[in-house]
Each structure stands twice: as C-alpha cells, then as structure tokens.
Amino acid sequence: MLGYPCYHMAEVAKHPGHDEAWRAAARDQAAGRVTDWRALFGPGGYTAAVDWPAARFYKELLAAYPGAKVILTVRESFDAWYASVCESIYPSSMNGLTVRPPPWLAHWFRNYTSHYSMVDEVIWTGTFDGRFKDREFARQVYESHIAEVKRLVPPSQLLVFSARQGWGPLCAFLGRQPPPPDTPFPNVNDKADFAKGLGARQRRARHYRNIILASNAALAAALAAGAALAVRLLRGGGGGAGRRSGGKTGAGSKGASTVAAAQPKTR
C-alpha cells in the first residue's frame, strides 16, 4: 500500500528453498558468518521485511543495509503479546512439529517438515531456547529484544510504533504521503482473522498427521506380521530338519501346514 514489496513469513512458502535459506542464516548467525541477504531478497524485488523470520536478524540486515529504517512494533503490554502468540502461531507451529513422517514418506512431506523445522530453529529454539511456555522467560526475551533494538539502532533510523497510532507517524517516518483520510489502517492477522486461518492450518496439520500415523501403524503391522511369519517359517524349517535327520515326521508336517494357514492372514 505504501509502495514497498514486503517479505513476510507467508512469502517463505512461495519460494522453494527459502526455508533452508533461513535455517542457514540461523547457522551463519551462530557462527558469526555473513549471510548473502541480497541473494535471498533480491530475486523477489523485496525492499522491506516484517515478521519472523526476518525480525530475528535485524542486526545482520541493518549491517547489510546500513541506511535502512527500522520499525519496532510494540503491543500495549507483554501480556497482550504473549496471549496473542499463545492463541496463534505457537499452537500452529506445535501442530506441525508433533509428528514426523517415516523415511519413505519424507520426500512427499519435505515442504511441510522443512517449514516447521525452520520455524522451530529460528523462533522457538533459536529465539526462545525451547522455553516459550515458560512465561517469565518469554517475558525476558521480549523485553530484552525491545531494549536491544532501542539501544543499537540509531535514533534517526528507528520508529517505535503501535498499530493503534495509524498512518500519521508511520508515513512521516518513511517520508510517504499518507493515504486519503478515510483509508482504514490495515488490520490483517488480527486474532479473529488468524483464528480462521489457524483452524484451516490445524485441519491440514491433522490431515498430514493422520496420514503419517496411519503409515507408521501400517509399517508396525507389516513388521509384526513379517516377524510372526519368520518365526513360523523357522519353526517349520526346524521340523523339516528333524524329519530329514530321521526324527518324527508329524511335527514337521504340522509346522508346514501351520505356516501355510498363517500366510493368507498376514497379507
């Protein structure tokens, strides 16, 4: 709306390989290496980035684009932010992380598993150290992030902004003409909208999870049937050996007939 092609978490799914690119960026960050951000953003023509995963790397992005303007969006309180996350992206992410496909299905679920692995590596493990459900720890991360951004970003390049402030401060900071006065400020991904999308994502995640669980159950049943059949074959083979060595033939015959009767049941 203001003329900035913007990279958002939703954009990740549109670009094959971007999940892995963000995971690589997290590893670069941990190792002190420089990520080629222009290779990530350039082909799509993006001139702005919001939301995770980009927000995790604001220092690296500011180093790569030293003239960039940084908008630190804040909620009315930590409690409001935490409640929102607990009702939106956190359960959505957990649905995608609870069940993993078996190896022979990994190829078909690669986009699904790659995305949720990236989200976990960048956000829940990478940012919150796997302790997001520890409310006070999450508070420390939240408050430390806000304080760090205010400390590190030059004041002339930083706007601390609440969506409730509307167009005025945002457009003034960016040097853009505000939209007409009757233009409502965008209200996308609010709690109600996200709940609708979350329901669809949860249904999709349950669908994938059911496929994976059914596949795992089928494998377990096949392995159990195969093991039972192998045991019976071995027992039958033992009876046959006894017969060849001069033992009683009845045991061998009974063992062989038992295997034959069991085979159709294991198919």
**In a shared domain, residues 248 and 144:** no
Encoded amino acid at 181, one letter: P
H or E segment and range at residue 84: helix 78-86
Q: Which residue has the higher pLDDT, 266 or 54?
A: 54
Q: Evaluate whether residue 196 is within a structural domain.
A: no
**In a shared domain, residues 180 and 90:** yes
User: Tens of pLDDT along 159-179?
Assistant: 999 988 999 999 999 999 988
**Total structural domains in the chain?**
2
Encoded amino acid at 208, one letter: Y
CA distances from residue 118 to 28, 54, 102, 179, 262 in whole angstroms, order as listed:
14, 12, 19, 36, 47
**In a shared domain, residues 244 and 120:** no
Chain position carrying tokens 């409640």? 83
Q: Tell me the CATH number at 122.
A: 3.40.50.300
In angstroms, the first-to-last Cα distance of the chain is 61
Residue 155 CB-density burial (10 A; 0-12 exposed, 13-18 middle, 19+ buried): exposed
User: Tens of pLDDT along 119-131?
Assistant: 999 999 999 999 9
Q: Evaluate whether residue 147 is within a structural domain.
A: yes
Closest CA to 123 of 144, 147, 141, 111: 141
Q: Evaluate whether residue 1 is within a structural domain.
A: no
Q: Evaluate whether residue 264 is within a structural domain.
A: yes
**In a shared domain, residues 85 and 163:** yes
**In a shared domain, residues 139 and 21:** yes
**In a shared domain, residues 109 and 175:** yes
Domain with 16 in it: 6-189
Kindly state the average pLDDT of the residues 191-195. 56
Close Cβ partners of 111 (under 8 Å, ≥ 6 residues apart) = 13, 16, 19
Domain boundary residue among 189, 222, 255? 189
Among left, alpha and beta (phi > 0; psi -120 to 50; other), residue 32 is: left
**In a shared domain, residues 185 and 211:** no
Query: How many H helices and E strands in the chain?
Result: 11, 4
Range with the poorest average pLDDT among 9-13, 20-24, 32-36 = 9-13
Radius of gyration of the chain (CA): 29
Domain boundary residue among 159, 189, 219? 189
- Say what the pLDDT of residue 59 is: 97
Instruction: Check: pTM over 0.75? Answer yes or no.
Output: no
